Amino acid sequence: MKTTRGYIYVLLAALMWASSGTAGKALFEGGMTPFELVQIRVTLSSLLLGVVLAISPKEYLKIRWKDVGYFLVLGVGMALVQGTYFFTISKIQVAAAILIQYLSPFFVAFYSILFWKERFTGFKALALLLSFGGCYLVVGGYDLELLKMNRLGIMVGVLSAILFAGYSLLGERGMHRYRPWTVLFYALLFAALSWHVFFTPFHYLKAGFSAAQWGWLLYISVIGTILPFGLYFMGVNYIRSTRASITATLEPISAGLMAFLFIGETLSPLQILGGILVIGAVVLLQLRQEQDKLAPILIRGKKA
């Protein structure tokens, strides 16, 4: 029963993340810029989450002064990830942008091989080949006109995946010292501060957005940010993190379907094939990591 509940939580989180991408694309088509959206998103999310954590009986907001610099760097990282991610969505299809983001586990693998001296096995080589081949199809590399038109969006999308990989590694460090909600709140808070330093501060208060646009912004902040993170954390408590990561690959699939139903975006058969290759590569890599973690346990069990 708990396992089923865990899968349901992760599936709901994936659907919510996917819907936020489609909602963001609709706002871009209405004239809002990606940078305006990200500035408002991280600001609203940090304010709302801060209020909830402040009234919580647990001390979620308490951190050590020596860790303020760490959270500042993490927040700047989140600001860059959010900005490049939504900029990519504004330039290419929602599902394609999310699938490019799914290259981040492979950049983490590259980092581990280069700096942590992990073995570069044939299995990892196959997963990397599938992922980059799939990405080539997803972004329309077979169509020179499509590739030329989306070149900026594709390059920023790959940059976003690299930044997200670095952000994930940095965020994992914080999880060893603080609760996930604490790390998420301070990442959002410093991301919001960053956007108000490097982008016109409080621009959104005088931008003249409609009530409908503010409604979608609130939706993205709550349904597309706070709730899915919470559901994902709850899901991981019931199922292995590897299984949760694999289940979350529903996100680009559902994002493509939502974008088709609500804003008329379509993917060609070759792009769909590329998406299948990327998701397949992620699943293979995650399953292999789970086997690597279980191997020492099985060996110890045999020796006992």
At 40-77, the pLDDT tens digits run 999 999 999 999 999 988 888 999 999 999 999 999 99
Contact 165, 105 (CB under 8 A): yes
* Euclidean distance between CA atoms 278 and 67, whole angstroms: 36
Q: Among residues of the chain, what percentage have pLDDT more than 70?
A: 78
Whether 104 has a pLDDT exceeding 70, the answer reads yes
Specify the pTM.
Answer: 0.78
Element (H, E) at 229: helix 227-238
- Which is higher by pLDDT, 159 or 120? 159
**Is residue 295 classed exposed, middle or buried when 0-12, 13-18 and 19+ CB atoms within 10 A define those classes?**
exposed
Q: Structural domain tally of the chain?
A: 1
Contact 121, 291 (CB under 8 A): no
Mean pLDDT rounded to a whole number for the chain: 79
The gap from C-alpha 165 to its chain's centroid, in whole angstroms, comes to 10
Residue 90 belongs to a domain: yes
| Neighbour count for residue 184 (Cβ, 10 Å) | 26
Whether 225 has a pLDDT exceeding 70, the answer reads yes
Residue 295 belongs to a domain: no
The predicted pLDDT at position 241 comes to 53
Residue 41 belongs to a domain: yes
Contact 250, 17 (CB under 8 A): no
* Cα R_g (the chain), whole angstroms: 20
**Is residue 267 classed exposed, middle or buried when 0-12, 13-18 and 19+ CB atoms within 10 A define those classes?**
buried
User: Which residues span the domain enclosing 190?
Assistant: 2-126+156-265
Residue 274 belongs to a domain: no
The residue-averaged pLDDT of 139-153 equals 66
Q: Give pLDDT tens digits for 178-192.
A: 888 888 899 999 999
Q: Give pLDDT tens digits for 2-29.
A: 677 877 888 888 888 888 888 998 899 8
Residue 44 belongs to a domain: yes
Task: Report DSSP state, residue 88.
Answer: H
Residue 275, helix vs strand vs coil? helix
* Euclidean distance between CA atoms 213 and 222, whole angstroms: 14
* Euclidean distance between CA atoms 139 and 100, whole angstroms: 8
Residue 71 belongs to a domain: yes
Residue 273 belongs to a domain: no
How sure is the predictor about 296, in pLDDT bands with cuts at 50, 70 and 90? very low
Residue 161 belongs to a domain: yes
